[in-house]
Amino acid sequence: MSESRNVSQETGQYTRHSILRYEKIFGQDFVSTGGLAVVKELCAMLDLRKGMRVLDIGSGLGGAAFYMAKTYGVEVLGVDLSQVMVDIALERVQQREAAGVRFVLDDVCTMPLEEASFDVIWSRDCFLHIPDKAALLKKLYRLTRPGGQILVTDYARRAGHVSEAFEKYFTKSGYHLLDPEAYGAHFTNAGYLNVESSNQTSRFVELLHQEMEMLQVDRDKFLADFTSEDLDYLLRRWADKLGYCAEGSMVFARLHGRRAA
């Protein structure tokens, strides 16, 4: 794998502590908004069938991979750039029945993968870390089987002006954000057909509220493992995201496309 682009080293965002702290608010095995609830909604769009091959990019702790393999009998290859994420995902493979799931440590931008070998390319809240979306989408198109699909959720921004506070937030986090239309254009330019780039911000806001409420309900459980500073950090970060969405700067995008059969 490429040593030069380890997200956790670059931003300090994915240390074991920070990952397990995020998991407390996103839900068991997840580091993405809505956790399992959103995975179920997305899977319903895909017509997954036994034996299909899925590439999960930025697979994190493996929540989506475990769910898809167990529920639909698909084979999932999870790829993640963060050593700690992959270590934890592999620990969880040991702790449960996880047939059909494999996790590898690598950078999707540079790793060799077999052309036209995946029925579904899946990624949740990972592409924000990747600056060159055009090159990424071209590569993913080549990996998609004829007739196969791509489904992505990601943080995005409104076109044009965004608030200074939001700009500071995503720059400091090392995120590379596009507006949904520009984002969708990369899918179309790569060759995907019937590209749907949908603004899911209202669902995102609903989920952020739910996650904050759950964390406060489970406050004592959280404080058994983490500190009150950790709790304040998460609540502050969630409140900030709600503020960026309310002012219109932050957008949550869902993108879907298909390779011609």
Ligand X SMILES: C[S@@+](CC[C@H](N)C(=O)[O-])C[C@H]1O[C@@H](n2cnc3c(N)ncnc32)[C@H](O)[C@@H]1O
Footprint of ligand X on this chain (CB under 6 A)? 7, 14, 30-32, 57-61, 63-64, 79-82, 85, 107-109, 124-126, 129-130
Residues 6+ away with beta carbon under 8 Å from 194: 256, 257, 258
Tokens standing for residue 75:
């084979």
CB of 161 to ligand X, least distance (A): 26
> Which residue type, as a one-letter code, is found at position 202?
S
CB of 98 to ligand X, least distance (A): 16
Note whether 69 and 101 are within 8 A (CB).
Answer: yes
DSSP 131-185: S-HHHHHHHHHHHEEEEEEEEEEEEEE-SS---HHHHHHHHHTT-----HHHHHH
Q: What is the DSSP letter of 112?
A: -
CB of 75 to ligand X, least distance (A): 17
Using the minimum distance from each CB to ligand X, give the nearer residue, 14 or 159. Answer: 14
CB of 171 to ligand X, least distance (A): 17
Using the minimum distance from each CB to ligand X, give the nearer residue, 64 or 190. Answer: 64
Using the minimum distance from each CB to ligand X, give the nearer residue, 132 or 194. Answer: 132
Tokens standing for residue 21:
């702290």
Using the minimum distance from each CB to ligand X, give the nearer residue, 2 or 261. Answer: 2
CB of 255 to ligand X, least distance (A): 14
Using the minimum distance from each CB to ligand X, give the nearer residue, 17 or 161. Answer: 17
